[in-house]
Structure 1
């Protein structure tokens, strides 16, 4: 066989082998179909599946309604190329939306829509629907009452004055919840055996008549509280000194220190231990008026009180009395066992 013929055979064999290799490569990269769904195929790029948490935005008429029971976030399952899923995890811009616009009072189940998802990814919300209640919106102004554990006050000391700023706040929420609020408490945290004055920024909480927290929105979350704490002895001395100065000044008005006595506007005082801080106040007026006053009644609503509560109550000036040494006092009410 000639050299030329041998070379030609080698070239043909090489070309045939090359063609086989190319054919094998093309076949290996052809989409692979499975089952009855011939639109699904295996991608050449590596895929990844992951779940992230996205905030839930509820769209509704906030002028007339408030929402109850909506979750703050939902899970989102992502599937697609590894690079895109990782990017979504690192820079989560996906938001879940529940649209209740146009709906009225009541419970509604609506779909969760996802925004900010790459068109190259498959995203599924979990849950895919949420149940949310639209309630009629209401608001009211409520007094802020200073509340504290009087057992933390050192023996021989008492709270002689409290101030709070702001004195009132606006509460907003479902009408049923707003109607249930009795007062807003500024809950002061005291150390054991407190003797010194206290100035503190305290959290505000709305309470019902039982002292249980009510879920509403407050116009202010905290209040500034100041408490004057004095020894019982110095308080008595100060009152005696004040009374003495008043009686020797030649003024037509006199002063008298009288005890505070709780009187039930609802419920019965027989079922409770009631204490005031201070336990007595100084009244100023004519001697004829003061001679007929032995104590100062304080009206208390004792209905639905099931546990110990301390709150601020306003004092009512009796007829004929010119002034009171305190406009309000702290009252601690404990059910008798």
Structure 2
């Protein structure tokens, strides 16, 4: 797939397609053994517009005496602007695990912010980022641990 990977995110292109080749047997055997042709979609035009679009699969580096049929012939793709946004990371833990008589101070995280890069629509849906401290036993001391960071949507 050809596109501006620094500024765009493209989704919807299938991982595989079926290619049927027709032509002289010797050329077919060579093409099958070499597998040096490429199937691709070209979204490299700088004027490409954002959103949903239908693109045609193309083939390159195939002997011109062979005829190729690609199935599916088209793909429905979504082109989005690639953006990066910085989010504050909030610590999260199960306060019911505090043993009786203990109180928790204000949790701290490091790093305090993360940068997330992706399709503009997806990044705009992120409401907050949580570092979830996964502890399964009673808390009765200071905890310093690695946590799983998750980007979440909603309130």
TM-score in terms of structure 1 length: 0.35
Select which of 152, 155, 173 maps to 2:99: 155
Is contact 2:89-2:114 (8 Å) kept?
A: yes
Please give the secondary structure, in 2, of the residue aligned with 1:74.
Answer: coil
Please give the secondary structure, in 1, of the residue aligned with 2:107.
Answer: strand
Is contact 1:84-1:121 (8 Å) kept?
A: no
Please give the secondary structure, in 2, of the residue aligned with 1:165.
Answer: coil
TM-superposed deviation, 1:78: 6.1
Select which of 119, 132, 135 maps to 1:174: 119
TM-superposed deviation, 1:180: 2.7
Q: Any idea what the Cα deviations from partners look like across 1:302-322, whole Å, max 9, x if unmatched?
A: xxxxxxxxxxxxxxxxxxxxx
Residue 69 of structure 1 corresponds to which residue in structure 2?
12
How big is the alpha-carbon RMSD for the aligned residues of Structure 1 and Structure 2? 3.5
Residue 111, structure 1, aligned to residue 53, structure 2? no
Please give the secondary structure, in 2, of the residue aligned with 1:178.
Answer: helix
Is contact 1:78-1:121 (8 Å) kept?
A: no
Q: Any idea what the Cα deviations from partners look like across 1:222-267, whole Å, max 9, x if unmatched?
A: xxxxxxxxxxxxxxxxxxxxxxxxxxxxxxxxxxxxxxxxxxxxxx
Residue 183 of structure 1 corresponds to which residue in structure 2?
128
TM-superposed deviation, 1:161: 4.4
Higher helix share: 1
Residue 99, structure 1, aligned to residue 38, structure 2? no
Q: Any idea what the Cα deviations from partners look like across 1:17-71, whole Å, max 9, x if unmatched?
A: xxxxxxxxxxxxxxxxxxxxxxxxxxxxxxxxxxxxxxxxx32234443324334
TM-score in terms of structure 2 length: 0.67
TM-superposed deviation, 1:125: 4.1
Is contact 2:131-2:147 (8 Å) kept?
A: yes
Distance 1:162 1:121 in 2: 65
Distance 2:140 2:63 in 1: 63
Alignment CA distance shift 1:192-1:84 (3 Å): farther
TM-superposed deviation, 1:196: 4.9
TM-superposed deviation, 1:130: 1.2
Runs of 5+ in structure 1 lacking a partner? 1-57, 211-337
Alignment CA distance shift 1:163-1:118 (3 Å): farther
TM-superposed deviation, 1:190: 1.7
Distance 2:111 2:151 in 1: 14
Of the two structures, which has the highest relative contact order with CA contacts closer than 8 Å and spacing of 6 or more? 2
Please give the secondary structure, in 2, of the residue aligned with 1:146.
Answer: strand
Distance 1:137 1:197 in 2: 40
Alignment CA distance shift 1:84-1:59 (3 Å): closer
Equivalences, count: 146
Please give the secondary structure, in 1, of the residue aligned with 2:17.
Answer: strand
